[in-house]
Amino acid sequence: MVHFVIVGLLVVASTLGLGLFLTNAPILPLQASEQAITVDWLFNIHWWLIAFFFSLITVFILYSVFVFRRKRGERGDGKYVSHNDRLEIIWTAIPIGIVLILAVIGASTLADVERRDANALTVDVYASQWVWRFEYTAEVQTEAGETILTAVSTDTLVLPKDRQVLLRMRSADVIHSFWVPEFRIKQDVLPGGDEFVRELRITPNLEGLYKVRCAELCGQLHYAMLADVQVVTPAEFDAWLAENAGDCNLGDEQCGQRWATTYGCTACHSLTGESGVGPTWLGLFGHEVSLSDGSVVTADLEYLHTSIVDPNAQVVQGFQPGIMPQDFAVRLTEEQIQQIIAFIVSLQ
Ligand code: CUA
Q: What is the pLDDT of residues 194-235, one digit of tens each?
A: 889 999 999 999 999 999 999 999 988 888 888 899 999 999
Residue 292's identity, in one-letter code, is: S
Average pLDDT estimate for 158-181: 93
Q: Whose CA is nearest to atom 1 of ligand 1?
A: 176
Q: Is 222 in the pocket of ligand 1 (CB under 6 A)?
A: yes
| 85-110 burial: b if 16+ Cβ within 10 Å, else e | eeeeeeeeeeeeeeeeeeeeeeeebe
CATH superfamily of 252-346: Cytochrome c-like domain (1.10.760.10)
Output the CA 293–ligand 1 centroid distance in Å. 59
**Domain spanning 121-245, CATH class:** mainly beta
Ligand 1, residue 175: give the atom nearest the CA. 1
- Each residue of 23-45: pLDDT tens digit? 777 778 889 999 999 999 999 89
Output Rg (C-alpha) for the chain, integer angstroms: 33
Ligand 1, residue 218: give the atom nearest the CA. 2
3-state secondary structure of 218: coil
Give the whole-angstrom CA distance, residue 347 versus residue 271: 7
Domain map of the chain by residue range?
2-67+87-113, 121-245, 252-346
Q: Does the structure show a pLDDT above 80 at 141? A: no
Q: Does the structure show a pLDDT above 80 at 82? A: yes
Give the whole-angstrom CA distance, residue 206 versus residue 177: 23
